[in-house]
Amino acid sequence: MTDDAYCPHCTNLLRRDAPHPYPSRAMRCPACLILVGAGRSATETGERRIAPGVVSTRGAGARRASSVSARTGPPVDLVRAVLHEVHDHHVLR
């Protein structure tokens, strides 16, 4: 299983097989240009990347609540499409 790092804002792939924590220092996402803080990359599904063997400090109730709220919003594919369209519009200007 790979452990790729994605932007927590636009889900753009930041690095394949990224080390933990990633990024080691703050960086700008090349796609959305939003700052990704040190160690704040996400998984492909948008969850916080946690190094293997590290126990999350969030409780099961918090995880369940965040997954429910994520499902009540717009579909992820729609949000990604809008973000890419806005990005392309600004790049082509």
Q: List the pLDDT tens digit at each of the 93 positions of the chain.
A: 458 999 999 999 999 999 988 999 999 999 999 999 999 999 988 888 876 666 555 554 444 444 444 456 778 888 888 888 887 777 665
- CB contact set of 44 (below 8 Å; sequence gap of 6+): 4, 6, 11
* pLDDT at residue 71, as a whole number: 56
* pLDDT at residue 84, as a whole number: 82
Q: Tell me the pTM.
A: 0.55
- The H or E element that residue 79 is part of is helix 76-92
* pLDDT at residue 61, as a whole number: 47
